[in-house]
Amino acid sequence: MSSAFDLALRAEQLGQLGRLAEAERAAREALAVDPENPRLLGTLSSTLLLAERYDEGLAVAEAACAAGPGLERPHRLRALHLSMLGRHAEAVQAGYAAVTIEPAEPAAAHGYAKVLQRAGRPLDAVRVATRVVELDPDSASAHLLLADVASDLKDRRHRELARREYETTLRIDPENAAAKHDLALLDARSRRPAKALAGLVQAGRLDPAMPQVLRTVVAVLWQLSWRVRIWLIVGTFPALAVAATPAVVVRSYAGFVLVATAALGWWTSRDLPRGTWPVLRRAVTTDRPLTVTYAALALCLLVYLSVVVTGFGLAAVAVWILLIALGWLAVFVRVVRRAPR
Amino acid sequence: MTDPLLTSLLAAVEAAPADVPLRLHVAELLLSRDRAAEALQHTSTALSHAPGDPAALALLQKVTKALADPPNPPTNPLPTVHPPTQPFPVRSLPQPTEGDPAAFDWGHAEEQVRDISPAPAFVAQEGDPVTEDVERATRPSVRLADVGGMEQVKERLELSFLGPVRNPEMARAFGKSAGGGLLLYGPPGCGKTFLARAVAGELGASFTEIGIADILDMWVGNSERNLRAVFDAARRKAPHVLFFDEVDALGQKRSHLTHSSTLRNTVNTLLAEMSGENAGVYVLGATNHPWDIDSALRRPGRFDRMLLVLPPDEGARAAILRQNLEKRPVEGIDLAKLVKATGHFSGADLTHLCDTAAERALADSMRTGQVRPLTMKDLQAALAEVRPSTGPWFATARNVALFADHDGSYDDLAAYLKKHRRL
């Protein structure tokens, strides 16, 4: 029969492999042998944290704290469970207890930074995450943590810090899909949608099971559609202004709009990796309002094409109508999606 | 039957167990007296004291040959072995006395323990149940013909794996390697393990299923040792199919295992063992998440062929449903209708469906006290409860086909998803 210590080691190993049911079983078997052991309680609590069973995990973490009040890990686990349950004030206290017990332990500081981040204290989180990097400079997860907490702050200095840290993470661990995804998100926020799309496709390749990649691609495509709408709104003013001029002028201007739109499209998509188009097509069809938006934008370009063919400048009014309708649609979608459920 | 020389020499061996030349001399004497089993024990003990000793190795060969080809019943009397005229070169032998173990009646003792089977010459190390599994593995009787439906999978299996293995020369002529492993992937419960058994049956090879629990050990270095032992045992047992179930756990991307050097080393060992000399060892793996496997494991010589095992097609569903229902009291089952209604159900889902329907009929029978056969109504009610468990897998698989098919690895998957309008 395996000893409680063996079983705890096994539980931790299985937890690392994501086999949470087996890890939980091993941890509970170990606890049946030695129910007061804080290390075993910590192992079970950590497994429950990975399994997102925070209520149960918190109870076990509290038992671990009672069994070993001088140990750092039970306090850290308690803090993380409390944080996930939205009990931020208690979580911060527990996290602080963990770093007080072992100030030089990177895992303790890592947990505390996460707790501070979720508690809405990004500046403090950045300070603690910086300490994590100092304690463990070669760890990709330490740099990723600092990048994540820094990216929560909107100012330029922290954005630059986040970008540097994401890049360091990827230098240490080039296959880190989370870092790739988050860096792409940062690019999207910095209004670099093409770069963001390229990063997202690479993140998807590194970890195709990551569900948020396609959602982020949809968000970036909304951002791109906004750019195209702005360009078409701006472009339609002169189109209407020249509507009464000779047909050759009207045709030339409509042709210019089409060529400029194509050039903008090429400029945006020139660095996209191979195999991006199926992803974009899928993303557009996943989100119905986005499908409608891109269909309407394609219709706007068809209107311009008809102007090139017919020389009838007033047809550009249809572009205005379509863009106004799209504006309303975007407002409606935004309101509905931001409404609390 | 006492032999004073041998008796005294055996006593000497017992007094000086580490004396290799003495033990070998005794073993030779035992062999010459047709006591090869005892000679083998002494030779093995001598080898454990002096591994690689040329005299011991030569004697071991003689002893094993004697054991393999037992001599014909002697027609002539055995040649007499004369006691050495000179004292034994290593030590002078003590004279046996009355109270000595040398005076012990070995013949009588042998009579007493005759019914006890002799211990194996090389005892398997304790804690190696997985090696024992390989040693005891048998050839599965199941063949591909026993797999209901799944014609496409069987055809691809034949073309990409079984064909080259059966015709290595022809495969080589076309630049295809007969070596390397086969990775079966697909949603859970769709018969990957059964297919692997059928492959072993087709190859006429013994089969061992290796799970993560057989390999992983919490102590540093033991997981790697277990893995090496499994491959060594399989090489001794060739032709042998080693089937790694849920291979994504053992061969996870090393970049995901930065916090565990043990697990990383296990992946490295798996890579090394798969690249080694594995003549007659066919390595098969099964996973629900091939995208989580370390890319090095998919390189030539390792799991260089992938086969998508999809939920059972109509033929396979009919076979599974029939198998699940035939031992139960049934009435008016429209199998064709049932097959149509169970698209995307895995084999395990179909079994669950039949069990749920059977539970309803059983509950009814218990209420009324009379056996009521299972009907279509029970199955339709069960259909409302049991949903195909393959849904979440296909949700992830869709992302995989979108993002990760840049090298064509998932072409089969993409084609299936397109055909079923899921991509």
CB contact under 8 A, B212 and A173: no
Backbone φ, ψ for residue B283 (5° rounding): -100, 120
- Angle, vertex CA A246, rays to CA A241 and CA A247, nearest 5: 95
At residue B21, the pLDDT reads 80
Best probe of the B interface among A205, A281, A284, by most B CBs < 10 A, is A205
Residues whose CB is less than 8 angstroms from the CB of residue A159 and which lie 6 or more positions away in sequence, other chains included? A150, A151, A153, A186, A189, A190
Domain that holds residue A76: 2-207
Mean pLDDT of A263-291: 89
Which of these ranges, A34-43, A201-210, A299-308, B23-32, has the smallest mean pLDDT? Answer: B23-32
Residues whose CB is less than 8 angstroms from the CB of residue A227 and which lie 6 or more positions away in sequence, other chains included? A193
Closest alpha carbon to A223 in A187, A259, A258: A187
pLDDT digits (tens, 9 = 90+) for A104-119: 999 999 999 999 999 9
CB contact under 8 A, B263 and A16: yes
Do residue A197 and residue A149 come from a single domain? yes
Model confidence at B16, in pLDDT bands (50, 70, 90)?
Answer: confident
User: Count of A–B CB contacts within 8 Å?
Assistant: 69
> What is the largest distance, in Å, between two alpha-carbon atoms of chain A?
94
Question: Which of A156, A186, A207 lies at the terminal end of a domain, its last residue?
Answer: A207
Model confidence at B244, in pLDDT bands (50, 70, 90)?
Answer: very high
- The nearest alpha carbon in chain A to B263 belongs to A13
Question: Would you say A236 and A320 are in contact if contact means Cβ atoms under 8 Å apart?
Answer: yes
Three-class secondary structure of residue B237 per DSSP: coil
At residue B94, the pLDDT reads 36
Question: Would you say A92 and A85 are in contact if contact means Cβ atoms under 8 Å apart?
Answer: no
Model confidence at B321, in pLDDT bands (50, 70, 90)?
Answer: very high
Which amino acid is located at A83 in the chain?
S
Mean pLDDT of B365-376: 89
Do residue A71 and residue A201 come from a single domain? yes
pLDDT digits (tens, 9 = 90+) for A170-225: 999 998 999 999 999 999 988 888 899 999 999 998 888 888 999 999 999 999 99
Specify the higher pLDDT residue, A80 or B56: A80
Chain A positions with Cβ closer than 8 Å to B: 6, 9-10, 13-14, 16-17, 19, 139-141, 173-176, 201, 204-205, 207-211, 213-214, 274-275, 278-279, 282
Mean pLDDT of B29-47: 75
Q: Please name every residue paired with B252 in a beta bridge, in sequence order, or none if there are none.
A: B293
Q: Is the pLDDT of residue B225 over 70?
A: yes
The DSSP string of B110-171 is HHHTTTSPPPPSSPPPTT-HHHHHHHH-------GGGS-S-HHHHHHHIIIIIHHHH-HHHH
Where do the H-state alpha helices sit in chain A? 4-16, 20-33, 38-50, 54-67, 72-84, 88-101, 106-118, 122-135, 140-151, 156-172, 177-189, 193-206, 212-241, 247-269, 276-286, 288-310, 316-338
CB contact under 8 A, A279 and B402: yes
Judged by phi (left if over 0) then psi (alpha if -120 to 50, else beta), residue B180 lies in: left
Mean pLDDT of B42-58: 71
Residues whose CB is less than 8 angstroms from the CB of residue A328 and which lie 6 or more positions away in sequence, other chains included? none
Q: Please name every residue paired with A46 in a beta bridge, in sequence order, or none if there are none.
A: none
- The CA distance from A260 to the nearest CA of chain B, in Å, is 30
Judged by phi (left if over 0) then psi (alpha if -120 to 50, else beta), residue B186 lies in: left
CB contact under 8 A, B403 and A213: yes
Do residue A177 and residue A308 come from a single domain? no
Alpha-carbon torsion angle B233, B237, B243, B244, nearest 10 = 10
Which of B218, B259, B399 is nearest residue A208 as measured by Cβ atoms? B399
Taking contacts as CB-CB distances below 8 angstroms, the residues of chain A near B396 are 208-209, 211
Q: Is the pLDDT of residue A144 over 60?
A: yes
Which amino acid is located at B223 in the chain?
S
At residue A50, the pLDDT reads 92
Top mean pLDDT of A117-131, A267-281, B295-309, B363-377 is at A117-131
CATH of the domain at A89: 1.25.40.10
B258 lies within 8 A of chain A by CB:
yes
Model confidence at B384, in pLDDT bands (50, 70, 90)?
Answer: very high
CB contact under 8 A, B403 and A279: yes
Q: Is the pLDDT of residue B63 over 80?
A: no
Q: Please name every residue paired with B285 in a beta bridge, in sequence order, or none if there are none.
A: B183, B244
Q: Please name every residue paired with B62 in a beta bridge, in sequence order, or none if there are none.
A: none
- The CA distance from A276 to the nearest CA of chain B, in Å, is 8
Q: Is the pLDDT of residue A4 over 90?
A: no
Do residue A195 and residue A275 come from a single domain? no
CB contact under 8 A, A214 and B402: yes
CB contact under 8 A, A204 and B255: no
The DSSP string of B11-49 is HHHHH-TT-HHHHHHHHHHHHHTT-HHHHHHHHHHHHHH
Q: Is the pLDDT of residue B95 over 70?
A: no
At residue B51, the pLDDT reads 64
At residue A182, the pLDDT reads 95
Alpha-carbon torsion angle B375, B377, B383, B386, nearest 10 = -70
Q: Is the pLDDT of residue B103 over 50?
A: no
> What is the Cα–Cα distance from A335 to A326, expressed in whole angstroms?
14
Do residue A183 and residue A256 come from a single domain? no
Q: Is the pLDDT of residue A8 over 90?
A: no
Q: Please name every residue paired with B278 in a beta bridge, in sequence order, or none if there are none.
A: none
Our count of domains for chain A comes to 2
B215 lies within 8 A of chain A by CB:
no
At residue B102, the pLDDT reads 44
Specify the higher pLDDT residue, B73 or B161: B161
DSSP single-letter state for residue B92: P
The helix (run of H) or strand (run of E) holding residue B282 is strand B281-287
- The CA distance from A169 to the nearest CA of chain B, in Å, is 12
Mean pLDDT of A278-288: 91
Which of B249, B257, B260 is nearest residue A19 as measured by Cβ atoms? B249
Mean pLDDT of B48-60: 71
Q: Is the pLDDT of residue B97 over 70?
A: no
Question: Would you say B346 and B187 are in contact if contact means Cβ atoms under 8 Å apart?
Answer: yes
Which amino acid is located at A204 in the chain?
G
- The CA distance from A323 to the nearest CA of chain B, in Å, is 30
Q: Is the pLDDT of residue B125 over 60?
A: no
Quote the mean pLDDT of chain A. 91
Taking contacts as CB-CB distances below 8 angstroms, the residues of chain A near B253 are 175
- The nearest alpha carbon in chain A to B422 belongs to A282
Which of these ranges, B88-97, B176-185, B294-303, has the smallest mean pLDDT? Answer: B88-97
CB contact under 8 A, B399 and A214: yes
pLDDT digits (tens, 9 = 90+) for A211-256: 899 999 999 999 999 999 999 999 998 988 888 888 899 999 999 9
At residue A198, the pLDDT reads 92
Q: How far is CA A210 from CA A21, A232, A281, B399, in A?
A: 21, 35, 18, 8
pLDDT digits (tens, 9 = 90+) for B187-224: 988 889 999 999 999 988 999 999 888 888 877 788 89
Which of B255, B257, B399 is nearest residue A204 as measured by Cβ atoms? B399
Q: Is the pLDDT of residue B109 over 90?
A: no
Mean pLDDT of A308-336: 91
Specify the higher pLDDT residue, B93 or A151: A151
> What is the Cα–Cα distance from B237 to B281, expressed in whole angstroms?
8
Q: Is the pLDDT of residue A285 over 70?
A: yes
B422 lies within 8 A of chain A by CB:
no
> What is the Cα–Cα distance from A179 to A202, expressed in whole angstroms?
11
Q: Is the pLDDT of residue A133 over 90?
A: yes
- Copy the structure tokens of residue A311: 């020389």
> What is the Cα–Cα distance from B121 to B285, expressed in whole angstroms?
34
Do residue A63 and residue A199 come from a single domain? yes
Q: Is the pLDDT of residue B85 over 70?
A: no
> What is the Cα–Cα distance from A319 to A134, expressed in whole angstroms?
56
Which amino acid is located at B71 in the chain?
P
Do residue A79 and residue A8 come from a single domain? yes
At residue B39, the pLDDT reads 77
> What is the Cα–Cα distance from B387 to B165, expressed in whole angstroms?
39
Do residue A199 and residue A279 come from a single domain? no
Question: Which of A145, A180, A207 lies at the terminal end of a domain, its last residue?
Answer: A207
Q: Is the pLDDT of residue B276 over 50?
A: yes
At residue B238, the pLDDT reads 84
Burial class (CB in 10 A: 0-12, 13-18, 19+), A29: middle
**Residue A211 preceded by cis peptide, ω within 30:** no
CB contact under 8 A, A139 and B258: yes
Model confidence at B98, in pLDDT bands (50, 70, 90)?
Answer: very low
Closest alpha carbon to B292 in A317, A206, A273, A296: A206
- The nearest alpha carbon in chain A to B292 belongs to A207
Specify the higher pLDDT residue, A82 or B419: A82
Top mean pLDDT of A142-151, B19-28, B55-64, B367-376 is at A142-151
Judged by phi (left if over 0) then psi (alpha if -120 to 50, else beta), residue A275 lies in: left
At residue A340, the pLDDT reads 64
Q: Is the pLDDT of residue A129 over 90?
A: yes
Q: How many Cα atoms occupy the beta-carbon half-sphere of B31 within 13 Å? A: 22
- The CA distance from B193 to the nearest CA of chain A, in Å, is 20
Model confidence at B65, in pLDDT bands (50, 70, 90)?
Answer: low
- The CA distance from B129 to the nearest CA of chain A, in Å, is 14
- The CA distance from B56 to the nearest CA of chain A, in Å, is 39
Mean pLDDT of B27-54: 74
Question: Which of A179, A207, A235 lies at the terminal end of a domain, its last residue?
Answer: A207
Model confidence at B93, in pLDDT bands (50, 70, 90)?
Answer: very low
Edge to edge, what strands does the sheet with B206-210 contain? Answer: B206-210, B240-244, B281-287, B182-185, B305-308
Do residue A154 and residue A245 come from a single domain? no
Q: Is the pLDDT of residue B229 over 80?
A: yes
- The nearest alpha carbon in chain A to B262 belongs to A13
At residue B122, the pLDDT reads 47
Mean pLDDT of A250-272: 91
- Copy the structure tokens of residue B79: 């040649």
Which of A13, A213, A282 is nearest residue B263 as measured by Cβ atoms? A13
Question: Would you say B348 and B192 are in contact if contact means Cβ atoms under 8 Å apart?
Answer: no
Model confidence at B15, in pLDDT bands (50, 70, 90)?
Answer: confident
Model confidence at B263, in pLDDT bands (50, 70, 90)?
Answer: confident
Which of A16, A173, A208 is nearest residue B400 as measured by Cβ atoms? A208
Do residue A195 and residue A268 come from a single domain? no
Specify the higher pLDDT residue, B208 or B79: B208
Which of B257, B399, B406 is nearest residue A209 as measured by Cβ atoms? B399
Specify the higher pLDDT residue, A339 or A119: A119
> What is the Cα–Cα distance from B59 to B53, expressed in whole angstroms?
10
Mean pLDDT of B390-408: 87
Do residue A28 and residue A137 come from a single domain? yes
> What is the Cα–Cα distance from A265 to B18, expressed in whole angstroms?
85
CB contact under 8 A, B255 and A175: yes
Q: How many CB atoms lie within 10 A of CB A48?
A: 25
The helix (run of H) or strand (run of E) holding residue B210 is strand B206-210
pLDDT above 90 coverage of chain A, percent? 70
Mean pLDDT of B47-72: 66
At residue A162, the pLDDT reads 96
At residue B124, the pLDDT reads 46
Specify the higher pLDDT residue, B180 or A259: A259
Do residue A55 and residue A137 come from a single domain? yes
Which amino acid is located at B268 in the chain?
N
Three-class secondary structure of residue A255 per DSSP: helix
Angle between helices A177-189 and A140-151 (to 10 degrees): 20
